[in-house]
Amino acid sequence: MNVEVKLFAYFRDNRFKVKNFTFEEAVPVSHVLDHLGINADEVGVTMVNGRHCRLDTHLQPDDSLGIFPMIGGG
């Protein structure tokens, strides 16, 4: 199954902006984070097909996953 992954802000550093991945079966968003070496504690928002999702949401064929880091400010 193919999934498009889009990284935002500093998650792109030494990685990529957009990349397609192939998985044998439906996997949760948390699996993709592990695969990319992204700590879940650093994630602010995840979106599947433009809608907010949880880390336990299972991706389906041809989904688009957006991963945004926590943004701090003051």
**Mean pLDDT by 10-residue block, N- to C-terminus, for the chain (74 residues)?**
96 96 96 96 97 97 97 66
Residue 74 lies in a domain: no
Residue 25 lies in a domain: yes
Residue 19 lies in a domain: yes
Which CATH number characterizes residue 22's domain? 3.10.20.30
| Domain containing residue 27 | 2-69
Residue 61 lies in a domain: yes
pLDDT digits 0-9 by tens, 22-31:
999 999 999 9
pLDDT digits 0-9 by tens, 9-19:
999 999 999 99
Cα separation, 45 vs 51, whole angstroms:
10
Within its chain, how far is the Cα of 10 from the centroid?
13
Would you state the pLDDT for residue 37?
Answer: 96
Question: Do the strands 63-69 and 43-48 form a parallel or antiparallel pair, or are they unpaired?
Answer: antiparallel
What's this model's pTM, rounded to 2 decimal places?
0.93
Number of domains in the chain: 1
Question: Do the strands 63-69 and 51-52 form a parallel or antiparallel pair, or are they unpaired?
Answer: unpaired
